[in-house]
Amino acid sequence: MIRAALILTLSSFSLLAADADAVARIHEAARVFDEVMGTPDKGVPQELLDKSYCVGIVPSVKKAGFIVGARYGKGVIQCRGKEGHGWTGPSTIRIEGGSFGLQIGATAIDLIFLIMNDRGVDKLIESKFTVGADATAAAGPVGRDAQAQTDAQMHAEILSYSRSRGLFAGLSLQGATLRADDADNRQIYGKNVKPAEILKGEIPAPDAAKDLLSTLSKFSSSRHP
């Protein structure tokens, strides 16, 4: 019964999200990232951002009312361009399920996550993967200095963060499922495209991504270390 209720709730979220404009969500992702990184004492450590291979931003992840821990959201992810230069265009993603323990009681959160190595990127361009089972993850440290990293954080393929009610903190995405949203990618690029093509830099970024590209470049080094 609980499983059926979860499916029904997430299906309702899917219908609501389908009505939202994918291009508008790109602009919202740029705004979220600009606000978070605009307060370096409370944002993603610069060192970690510069070392990241990809950055994901999911504005306003919703909580599934009566199902404790269940979440649903749609956002974008971008990776370093060829030879580490610049950023690729955005590929849209959906996040479903998972228990976001640090945000108990919050009805919506903004989610940011970093992909920290090649294996994480490989998992990312698959059609679907589950955090914790298919890719290791940890709550990311916050602030100017990344020295607070634990051993688990240093070896994680994904470091994740959330913002809710003004609080920005690391959180665990264990159990959450990430998958591409082909319909939204088609809306943004005007044709059928594969996430791998986007995230490998084989397809030019659309005009709609101009603000997001500018924001990522503003806060990160233009070349991967």
SS3 126: coil
Tens digit of pLDDT for each residue in 87-121? 999 999 998 876 655 444 556 789 999 999 888 88
What is the C-alpha to C-alpha distance for residues 212 and 218, in angstroms, rounded to an integer?
10
Q: Which two structure tokens, joined as six digits, stand for 62?
A: 């919703």
User: Residue 193 pLDDT > 90, yes or no?
Assistant: yes
Per-residue model confidence (pLDDT) at position 16: 42
Per-residue model confidence (pLDDT) at position 103: 47
Mean pLDDT of 72-88: 86
Name the average pLDDT for the chain.
80
Does this model's pTM top 0.85? My answer is: no
Per-residue model confidence (pLDDT) at position 57: 96
User: Residue 134 pLDDT > 70, yes or no?
Assistant: yes
Task: Determine what percent of the chain is predicted with pLDDT higher than 70.
Answer: 76
Q: Which two structure tokens, joined as six digits, stand for 198?
A: 């986007």
User: Residue 144 pLDDT > 80, yes or no?
Assistant: no
Burial of 66 (0-12, 13-18, 19+ CB in 10 A): exposed
What is the C-alpha to C-alpha distance for residues 59 and 26, in angstroms, rounded to an integer?
9
User: Residue 198 pLDDT > 70, yes or no?
Assistant: yes
User: Residue 4 pLDDT > 50, yes or no?
Assistant: no
Mean pLDDT of 76-81: 92
